[in-house]
Amino acid sequence: MNQPVEGETQTYERTFTVEDVQQFAELSGDAQPRHTEPDADGRVMVQGLLTATLPTKLGGDNEVLARTMEFEFLQPVYTGEPITCSSTYDTVVERDDRYEFTSDVVCEKANGEAVLGATVEGIIWKDD
């Protein structure tokens, strides 16, 4: 566990594949044609909640237990597009056994266009 620090930013990049979208469609039941039938370029639209796994991956790396996560889906993501997710700790309050925090999250395409914005409130337990 790393101690969270106000202003600290962490990033993660991922490019979703058609197989990723198909697996998520099977798991979630969100199998709309836009997620299962490729367009003329062979791409499918990534489910919004699959895109939202980018900030949860960052949370998992830091042993975060999210209390609330508020997402704003700004534009579609398609398979084959690299997406970079950045999470910045806005506030960090130290308690005896944990850190309580809020963070702002932005996920962007390679050209800098935001596809997802989020606010997260959570805790990180201190090591014993």
The domain segmentation of the chain, as residue ranges, is 9-15+47-125
Q: Per the CATH hierarchy, to which homologous superfamily does domain 9-15+47-125 belong?
A: Hotdog Thioesterase (3.10.129.10)
Q: What was the pLDDT predicted at 5?
A: 96
Contacts of 55 (CB under 8 A, 6+ apart): 69, 85, 87, 105, 107, 116, 118, 120
pLDDT above 90 as % of the chain: 95
Q: What is the pLDDT of residues 32-87, one digit of tens each?
A: 999 999 999 999 999 999 999 999 999 999 999 999 999 999 999 999 999 999 99
User: Is the pTM higher than 0.85?
Assistant: yes
How would residue 127 be classed by pLDDT, with cut points 50, 70 and 90? confident
